[in-house]
């Protein structure tokens, strides 16, 4: 069967759904029973099965259903799945994070959250598209668009049409800005046409629109995202930006902010926000009128 299909990736649907942020679909695909179909979804080898499970559990993680992962992956599961489990542990409890990272350093695996250098160093060893995509993401968070473009080029050489490459192209295009923004928009648009529109894709489109100062268009896209999930943190953040640019009353903006504070206290945006508030309070003390009434 494998020979017939040539280079067809039997896990395509599973991976694809995961990358575009369609997690439930990813889970559904991965859990499908084998069908009596030429393209049935019975992994052809144990390795493939492990790979499939990796995506399955990662999709659960993305849905923040850490418990499923922590319970499902047993001590005797393959090492790949152990890594996934560790990631779930890391995300599920803030208190244990340092310990996990320390543990990780010993075992040598990947983490991107805090230590970008270590992450890049680790990723540097990988050659899969996903490693490269992650590298690009780290580079972009470091504002190294130049290096990200180089890495993207490598990806494109490997497989230009892969979903990950396309997504990475869109990220880089957003960072580059200018005319590339429209390209990035089209990539997200194409993906949602082809598969289904997800929060990930919608927020990508919104970011493109907003970067082009097309606020009204962005509103439509974000509204759609909000309809899908009313407490999705990135959607809320984008709405905070958008409502102000649309000149809405400050109360509207504050509503989204409160919603965000309510549901996602640990989100980096809020951490930044609080830090900035403190900074403001500190800076205020530096100024005072020369006379008091």
Partner 1 sequence: MLTKFETKSARVKGLSFHPKRPWVLASLHNGVIQLWDYRMCTLIDKFDEHDGPVRGIDFHKQQPLFVSGGDDYKIKVWNYKLRRCLFTLLGHLDYIRTTFFHHEYPWILSASDDQTIRIWNWQSRTCVCVLTGHNHYVMCAQFHPSEDLVVSASLDQTVRVWDISGLRKKNLSPGAVETEVRGISGVDLFGASDAVVKHVLEGHDRGVNWAAFHPSMPLIVSGADDRQVKIWRMNESKAWELDTCRGHYNNVSCAVFHPRQELILSNSEDKSIRVWDMSKRTGVQTFRRDHDRFWVLGAHPNLNLFAAGHDSGMIVFKLERERPAYAVHGNMLYYVKDRFLRQLDFNSSKDTAVMQLRSGSKFPVFSMSYNPAENAVLLCTRATNLENSTYDLYSIPKESDSQNPDAPEGKRSSGLTAVWVARNRFAVLDRMHSLLIKNLKNEIVKKVQVPSCEEIFYAGTGSLLLRDADGVTLFDVQQKRSLATVKIAKVKYVVWSADTSHVALLAKHAIMICNRKLESLCNIHENIRVKSGAWDESGVFIYTTSNHIKYALTSGDHGIIRTLDLPIYVTRVRGNSVYCLDRECRPRVLTIDPTEYRFKLALVNRKYDEVGLIISSHLGSIVLHMVHEKTRFSLALECGNIEVALEAAKALDERSCWERLGEAALLQGHHQVVEMCYQRTKNFDKLTFLYLITGNLAKLRKMMKIAEIRKDMSGHYQAALYLGDVSERVRILKNCGQKSLAYLTAATHGLDEEAEALKETFDPEKETVPEVDPNAQLLQPPPPINPLDTNWPLLTVSKGFFEGAIAAKGKAGQMAADLDMDASGGEGWGDDAELQLDEDGFMDAQEALGDDGIGKEEGGGWEVEEDLDLPPELDMPAGAGGGAEDGFFVPPTKGMSPSQMWCNNSQLPVDHILAGSFETAMRLLHDQVGVVNFGPYKTLFMQTLSRGRTCYLGLPSLPCLRSHPQRNWKDCGAKQGLPAVGLRLSDLISRLQQCYQLTTAGRFEEAVERFRVILLSVPLLVVDNKQEIHSIRLEYIVGLTMETERKKLPKDTLEQQKRLCEMAAYFTHCNLQPVHMVLVLRTALNLFFKLRNFKTAAGFARRLLELGPKPDVAQQTRKILAACEKTLTDAHQLNYDPHNPFDLCAASFVPLYRGRPVEKCPLSGACYCPTYKGQICRVTQVTEIGKDVIGLRVSPLQFR
Residue 62 in contact with partner 1, rule: CB under 8 A: yes
CA 273 to chain centre: 20
> Is there binding between residue 139 and partner 1 (CB under 8 A)?
yes
Contact region with partner 1 (CB under 8 A), list: 29-37, 41-49, 71-79, 279-287: 279-287
- 83 in contact with partner 1 (CB under 8 A): no
57 scored as a contact of partner 1 (CB under 8 A):
no
Distance from chain centroid for Cα 207: 14
Residue 135 DSSP SS3 = helix
Residue 37 touching partner 1 (CB under 8 A)? no
Least separation, in Å, of the C-beta of 282 and partner 1? 9
Distances 154 to 55, 107, 181, 240, 277 between C-alpha atoms, Å: 24, 28, 21, 36, 41
Q: Output 50 or 253, the one with its CB closest to partner 1.
A: 253
- Selected range binding partner 1 among 40-48, 67-75, 95-103, 234-242, rule: CB under 8 A: 234-242
- Which residue shows structure tokens 């992650």? 134
Of residues 88-117, those binding partner 1 (CB under 8 A): 91, 108, 112-113, 115-117
**Inter-axis angle of helices 129-141 and 116-125, to 10 degrees?**
160
The helix/strand/coil state of 65 is coil
What's the CA gap between 253 and 276, in Å, rounded?
18
Site string for partner 1, 162-201 (x = CB under 8 A): x----x---x--xxxxxx-xxx--xx--x--xx----xx-
* Cβ 146 to partner 1 shortest distance, Å: 7
Please report how close the Cβ of residue 80 comes to partner 1 at its closest, in angstroms.
16
Q: Name the phi and psi angles at 207, rounded to 5.
A: -60, -40
152 binds partner 1 (CB under 8 A): no
Residue 98 exposure: Cα atoms within 13 Å on the Cβ side: 1
């Amino acid at each position: 069967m494998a020979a017939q299909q040539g280079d067809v990736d039997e896990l395509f649907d599973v991976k694809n759904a995961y990358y575009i942020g369609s997690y439930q679909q990813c889970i559904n695909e991965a859990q499908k029973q084998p069908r009596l179909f030429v393209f049935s979804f019975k992994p052809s080898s144990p390795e493939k099965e492990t790979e499939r499970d990796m995506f399955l559990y990662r999709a659960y993680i993305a849905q923040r259903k850490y418990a499923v992962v922590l319970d499902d992956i047993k001590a005797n599961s393959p090492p790949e799945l152990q890594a996934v489990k560790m990631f779930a542990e890391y995300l599920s409890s803030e208190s244990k994070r340092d310990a996990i990272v320390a543990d990780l350093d010993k075992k040598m695996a990947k983490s991107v959250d805090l230590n970008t250098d270590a992450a890049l160093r680790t990723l540097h060893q990988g050659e899969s598209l996903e490693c490269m995509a992650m590298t690009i993401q780290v580079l972009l968070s470091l504002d190294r668009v130049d290096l990200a473009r180089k890495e993207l080029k490598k990806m494109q050489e490997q497989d230009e049409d892969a979903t990950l490459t396309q997504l990475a192209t869109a990220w880089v295009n957003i960072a580059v800005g200018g005319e590339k923004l429209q390209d990035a928009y089209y990539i997200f648009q194409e993906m949602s046409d082809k598969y289904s529109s997800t929060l990930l894709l919608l927020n990508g489109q919104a970011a493109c629109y907003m970067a082009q100062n097309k606020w009204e268009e962005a509103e439509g896209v974000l509204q759609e995202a909000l309809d899908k999930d009313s407490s999705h943190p990135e959607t809320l953040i984008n709405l905070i930006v958008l409502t102000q640019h649309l000149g809405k009353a400050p109360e509207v903006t504050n509503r989204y902010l409160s919603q965000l504070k309510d549901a996602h206290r640990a989100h980096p945006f809020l951490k930044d926000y609080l830090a900035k508030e403190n900074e403001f309070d500190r800076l205020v003390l530096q100024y005072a009128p020369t006379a008091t009434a």
